[in-house]
A and B are shown apart, each in its own frame.
Chain A
Amino acid sequence: MIHDLSFRYKIPIRGTVLILITSFAVTAALIFRSYDDLKQDLLSNAEGVGQVLAHSLVPPLLKDDIWHTFKLIRTPLDTKLTRQMSFQADSIIVLNNKSDIYVASDPFRFPILTPLTNVSPEYKRLQQYLKNHLSQNSEVLDLPATDSLYVTSPIISDDVRLGTLVTSYLRASFTPRFTRFASRALFATIITLIILVPLSWYWGVRMAEPLVKLAGCMKRIGQENPSQLHCELYESKDEIGQLGTCFRETIIELQIKQDLEKQVIATERLAAVGRLTASIAHEINNPLGGMLNTINTYRRYGQLDTMGEKTVSLLERGLLQIQDTVSTLLIETKPISRHFELADADDVRTLITPEIQRNGVSLEWSIEIETLSLPATLIRQIMINLLLNAINAVPSGGVIGCHIATNQGVLMLSVYNNGIPIPQEKMSHLFEPFVHYHTDGNGLGLWVCYQIVSQLSGSIEVTSDKKETRFTVTIPLST
């Protein structure tokens, strides 16, 4: 499950786990170390106390003075005197050389002259140990499975052993000091954790964020148009930053590729439609010419009554309409009869002036050319078609414009208006035949323009937004 978790959580969780393990390991090591130190300190202290006490027990033992021996061994246990001592002995026993109790601090538990073995199983173990390891020095006995630690000190007078002093310390009496230390260590650890864990979360989340964003962005590829993909990616020169840069470049390339593909498809479709239309127009045009000739001949030589005249006229009008449409579809670049001149532009302006006036539109006119090595008829047709469309696209009081210039052997002709923008869904079908941009018109204007421009090896582009709609025609000048 953690395997599938987002890096947003995975990195902080791993950081936190590491911090927890480290802090607890360090704390535990410290605690165990200090427990050991504490024990050693206290025991060496206890050993010293035992030695001193054993030494002062010599005179009363020599006199067999039980009372004074008792008073002496009770002193270290007097809570009034030893309240300040952190490590309080549990009991103190003086053993004679037969390991019988000579006197003990707690006579009820350790009656006089009782063998140590009779006190309890634990003391029996102690007695057995003492029997086998009778030391001439003070020593600390840490016997396994005992509740107490024992400090034994020999009571020696002039090389004669009088007995053994046994001081027992409950293991549990370490506990308060140990607990105090452990709770302090734990407190410090918790404080550290309170600081480190949020910090690790913050860093972890920060580290994961660029990756998460990148992943989110990448997921959107294929679902959304690359041009619509606005990703705020992490800017840096580290690996994630590099990844982001690569990703952005990929997106741009992808967009270019997609645009290119779309363009190719559109061009191919238009070319196919153009070819189809042209061949259909040809097929229609040939019999059409025959039919019109026949009607002419029939009218000239035939006997027509009123009814017949009416019918023939009707046929002729229908056929002429067909011919009009078909001829519009039949665009042929004939050998240049004449080059486009400045006068042609002026003619176009004159031609559209009545339309402009009727619609109450103002015109911006900017022609920066002399003679162009392009067929005048075709360029005129492009201009007229685009300008008429523009006039129709703007409401009364709108502005249209025409700008013609040449740049590095290319004609740049643009026609623009500030009318209502072309809807997005119409943009891709703009140059197809019978696409009606307006209720009036035959829907062939832009198609014709496109066909002309295509045949002249140029291109036509359209941009449309709230401010203006602009058609830009680019045609290389023939040399």
Chain B
Amino acid sequence: MSTLTRRQFLHFIVAIGISSKLRAENKPIRIGITPVFLTELTSVLRDWKAYLEFKIGQPIVFVQRDTYRGIVNNLLTERLDFAWICGYPYTAHRQKLRLTAVPIYKGKPLYQAYLIVPKRDTSTRSILDLKGHVFAYTDPDSNSGFLVPKYQLLMANQDPNTFFRKTFISAGHHNAIEAVSTGLANGAYVDGYVWDSMTRFRPDITDQTRVVSKSSSFGFPPIVAGPSVSPEILHRLQNTLKNMHEDPSALSILNRLNIDGFGAGQPSDYETINKMAAALGNLRNDP
């Protein structure tokens, strides 16, 4: 399948060569990438970029950062046009950001947060059993890796700032999973989609973890447009993404991204996140 993709990629290169004059006049579309998915899959990004350039007819630049905050700041200050971010920063800045596309995962634009512990820990039944332990947060701007555990503790009348003996930021769901698998952290809440994907690509790591519980569903991390993006560009990207699942040449990319495709998404899907964020409002600044 990847051979086919490579051949197609060559076609794209030729096509881009022909339209090089046209491209030179076009401003590249800059898309920010965060650890909402397995950013280590460099070959997927390369193929996806080539695909989008071919479909949209404009150069694409993927900008990768380890934190949501860096990407969101760049998006708000118009150094980026689009970004694939978590639902939490999206709801926080939804006045300035426009929903462009939402991945469809297991048939829905939704995902769950998983509470994971090291495999050898067989006693933990909920996050409350981890009192006085070491806990890994994926990112202070993450819904599943930060907002969910803090909100759960709050609901259980615990102070998230003192509940654990030690917490640290792993910068990414895959790092949090690795931290739990090695025993560095006694537990972490991670993006269920990332954990599921890792069972496919790095079973050696996920096998060393145990999923204790799964949260209710939240809106899947969306691809959003920054304030300066023209509606025309937005629609072009939106349509390209939405049609990917119907394009056989894009199926390999979707398959490796471990999603079914992209949908337009509803801002209302992120209402739960918004409510949790509001509840945690005054705790917001304690990572």
User: Which residues of chain A have a CB within 8 Å of any CB of chain B?
Assistant: 64-67, 70, 74, 103, 106-108, 111-113
**Per-position 1/0 for B180-205, Cβ under 8 A of A:** 00111100000000000000000000
Complex interface: chain B residues within 8 A of A108 (CB):
118, 120, 182-183
Complex interface: chain A residues within 8 A of B170 (CB):
67
How far, in whole Å, are A364 and B136 apart by their CA atoms in the complex?
Answer: 138
Closest A residue by C-beta to B176: A67
Known contacts A67-B171, A67-B175; A112/B166 CB under 8 A: yes
Q: Is B29 among interface residues, defined by CB-CB distance under 8 A?
A: no
B184 near A66: Cβ-Cβ < 8 Å: yes
Complex interface: chain B residues within 8 A of A74 (CB):
182
Complex interface: chain B residues within 8 A of A106 (CB):
182-183
B134 near A112: Cβ-Cβ < 8 Å: yes
Complex interface: chain B residues within 8 A of A67 (CB):
136, 168-171, 175, 179, 184
Complex interface: chain A residues within 8 A of B166 (CB):
66, 112-113
Q: List the 10 closest A-B pairs by CB distance, nearest first.
A: A66-B168, A107-B183, A108-B183, A107-B184, A67-B170, A112-B134, A70-B184, A112-B166, A113-B166, A107-B182
Interface residues of A: mostly helix, strand, loop or mixed? loop
B237 to chain A minimum Cβ distance, whole angstroms, is 33
User: Which of A65, A107, A108, A113 is packed against the most chain B CB atoms within 10 Å?
Assistant: A107
For chain B residues 97-141, which have a beta carbon within 8 Å of chain A? 118, 120, 134, 136
Closest B residue by C-beta to A70: B184
Q: List 19 A-B contacts (CB under 8 A).
A: A64-B168, A65-B169, A66-B166, A66-B168, A67-B169, A67-B175, A70-B182, A70-B184, A74-B182, A103-B184, A106-B182, A107-B183, A107-B184, A107-B185, A108-B118, A108-B183, A111-B134, A112-B166, A112-B184
Q: Is B165 among interface residues, defined by CB-CB distance under 8 A?
A: yes
Interface residues of B: mostly helix, strand, loop or mixed? mixed
Complex interface: chain A residues within 8 A of B175 (CB):
67
How far, in whole Å, are A103 and B166 apart by their CA atoms in the complex?
Answer: 11
Complex interface: chain B residues within 8 A of A113 (CB):
134, 165-166
Closest B residue by C-beta to A102: B166
How far, in whole Å, are A67 and B168 apart by their CA atoms in the complex?
Answer: 7
**Per-position 1/0 for B148-165, Cβ under 8 A of A:** 000000000000000001
How far, in whole Å, are A74 and B166 apart by their CA atoms in the complex?
Answer: 20
Closest A residue by C-beta to B165: A113
User: Which residues of chain B have a CB within 8 Å of any CB of chain A?
Assistant: 118, 120, 134, 136, 165-166, 168-171, 175, 179, 182-185
A104 to chain B minimum Cβ distance, whole angstroms, is 9
Closest A residue by C-beta to B118: A108
A-B pair count, CB < 8 Å, reads 38
Complex interface: chain A residues within 8 A of B183 (CB):
106-108, 111
How far, in whole Å, are A106 and B165 apart by their CA atoms in the complex?
Answer: 19
Complex interface: chain A residues within 8 A of B168 (CB):
64-67
A70 near B134: Cβ-Cβ < 8 Å: no
How far, in whole Å, are A113 and B136 apart by their CA atoms in the complex?
Answer: 14
Interchain CB contact (< 8 A) of B179 among A64, A65, A70:
A70
User: Which of B170, B175, B184 is packed against the most chain A CB atoms within 10 Å?
Assistant: B184
Q: A67-B136, A113-B134 are in contact. List 19 more A-B contacts (CB 8 A).
A: A65-B168, A66-B184, A67-B168, A67-B169, A67-B171, A67-B179, A70-B182, A70-B184, A106-B182, A106-B183, A107-B182, A107-B183, A107-B184, A107-B185, A108-B118, A111-B134, A111-B183, A112-B134, A113-B166
B71 to chain A minimum Cβ distance, whole angstroms, is 19
How far, in whole Å, are A106 and B175 apart by their CA atoms in the complex?
Answer: 16
How far, in whole Å, are A131 and B136 apart by their CA atoms in the complex?
Answer: 31
Complex interface: chain A residues within 8 A of B179 (CB):
67, 70
Complex interface: chain B residues within 8 A of A66 (CB):
166, 168, 184
B198 to chain A minimum Cβ distance, whole angstroms, is 17
Closest B residue by C-beta to A108: B183
Complex interface: chain A residues within 8 A of B134 (CB):
111-113
How far, in whole Å, are A108 and B170 apart by their CA atoms in the complex?
Answer: 18
Complex interface: chain B residues within 8 A of A70 (CB):
179, 182, 184
How far, in whole Å, are A113 and B134 apart by their CA atoms in the complex?
Answer: 9
Closest A residue by C-beta to B170: A67
B133 to chain A minimum Cβ distance, whole angstroms, is 9
A157 to chain B minimum Cβ distance, whole angstroms, is 19
How far, in whole Å, are A193 and B261 apart by their CA atoms in the complex?
Answer: 77
How far, in whole Å, are A64 and B168 apart by their CA atoms in the complex?
Answer: 8
How far, in whole Å, are A70 and B136 apart by their CA atoms in the complex?
Answer: 13
A201 to chain B minimum Cβ distance, whole angstroms, is 62
How far, in whole Å, are A168 and B168 apart by their CA atoms in the complex?
Answer: 26
How far, in whole Å, are A66 and B166 apart by their CA atoms in the complex?
Answer: 10
Complex interface: chain B residues within 8 A of A107 (CB):
182-185
Complex interface: chain A residues within 8 A of B136 (CB):
67
A238 to chain B minimum Cβ distance, whole angstroms, is 79
User: Which of A64, A67, A111 is packed against the most chain B CB atoms within 10 Å?
Assistant: A67
Closest B residue by C-beta to A74: B182
User: Which of A74, A103, A111 is packed against the most chain B CB atoms within 10 Å?
Assistant: A111
A105 to chain B minimum Cβ distance, whole angstroms, is 9
How far, in whole Å, are A432 and B177 apart by their CA atoms in the complex?
Answer: 129
